[in-house]
Amino acid sequence: MKSIHALLLPLILSSLTMVSGITAAASSPDPSGTLLPLQYVNPPGLPRGTTSFAVSEESWVTTIDRRVVPPARGTVAEQLKAALAELDRQLERDAARRQSIIRLDISYLSGGGTQHRRIEEILKSYFSIRNGSMIGVDGAIDYPITTLVGVRQLDAGGSSVIVNVRYVDRSSIPPDLLVDAKARQRAAGKRIVLFGGITGKAAGADHQISAAVANLKSVLVFAGTQLDSVAQLTAFIDDHQDVAAAEQSIKAAFRAEGAQSPAQLVIKPLVADNPDGTAVVLAGEARMVPVAR
């Protein structure tokens, strides 16, 4: 006979990710205070494609981080497909599924805007069919946070793609926390907000930084916290820009939004090969600090 835990495993993912009454176009934390353990955050005013801007999660939600480097054969698109196939195998070994993925960071050797678009198409296909998840349907799970960055050099043993992924470790979560709302309330602690893939449309890198920080503020406020809560920020900046100048621009943008600079700020280069001319991408982690009303 199967154990109670084994019987509950199929319920875990829906308990973690289903958002009742919220579409993929605009998901936000439940204002009633009875938050689900894990909830995607996407302000309706910010246009997006096949990603989420952030995810709010309880501190007791355990996750697994994996790094996937495909064999150095074929094009970037072919290597990405191979990496995703290997990711599926890793998910299976950990008793997880594609719906378990909450964060995906992909670095690839830049080869032009059409390459970037092709990668987006592959990811859209990969997530749109994940075990019949019905993405975009009311009450269904949403896309994971995705930070996609083109670079000129990649330390991957000759490969052109590196995939870093975070997914929910379903096997280590006590079943009662997934099926009992009162148990979740008793266990509720400090929530964290993971964010990524946040950009801003504007002319010039400095203006894009300001726009991206403003969008980050919107995402965090929608999540129920504030810009001051950012504990760690990684800013991917067009590699033609001076790193020191970019750092000062980020700090100035935070001040302009009435917030202190992040406790930890890391600047990394990117190649602005996106068809939209994106030269700034923000990713990181924030604490759940209630917004003053």
Tell me, yes or no, if the two domains 4-187 and 192-287 fold the same way: yes
CA 204 to centroid of chain Cα atoms? 25
Which pairs from 80-89 meet CB under 8 Å and 24+ separation? 80/106, 80/108, 80/119, 80/122, 80/161, 80/163, 81/122, 83/161, 83/163, 84/122, 84/126, 84/163, 87/163, 87/165
Q: Are the beta carbons of 103 and 55 closer than 8 angstroms?
A: yes
**Among 93, 279, 235, which residue's Cα sits nearest to residue 170?**
93
**CB atoms closer than 10 angstroms to residue 120:** 17
Collapse the DSSP code of 255 into the 3-class scheme (helix H, G, I; strand E, B; otherwise coil) and give the result.
Answer: helix
pLDDT for the residue numbered 184: 67
What's the CATH class of domain 192-287?
Answer: alpha beta
**Segments making up each domain of the chain, as ranges:** 4-187, 192-287
Please state the rounded mean pLDDT for residues 197-222.
91
Residue 123's H or E segment, with its range, is: helix 113-128
pTM: 0.82
Using alpha carbons, list the distances in angstroms from residue 266 to 51, 184, 246, 272.
Answer: 23, 34, 11, 18
pLDDT for the residue numbered 175: 67
pLDDT for 49-95, tens place per residue?
778 999 988 877 889 999 999 999 999 999 999 999 999 999 999 98
pLDDT for 90-141, tens place per residue?
999 998 888 889 999 999 998 776 788 899 899 988 987 544 443 333 334 6
Topology, domain 4-187: 60s Ribosomal Protein L30; Chain: A; (3.30.1330)
Q: Are the beta carbons of 70 and 107 closer than 8 angstroms?
A: no
Please state the rounded mean pLDDT for residues 199-209.
86
pLDDT for 165-188, tens place per residue?
999 887 777 666 666 667 766 666
Please state the rounded mean pLDDT for residues 217-221.
95
Instruction: Share the mean pLDDT of the chain.
Output: 80
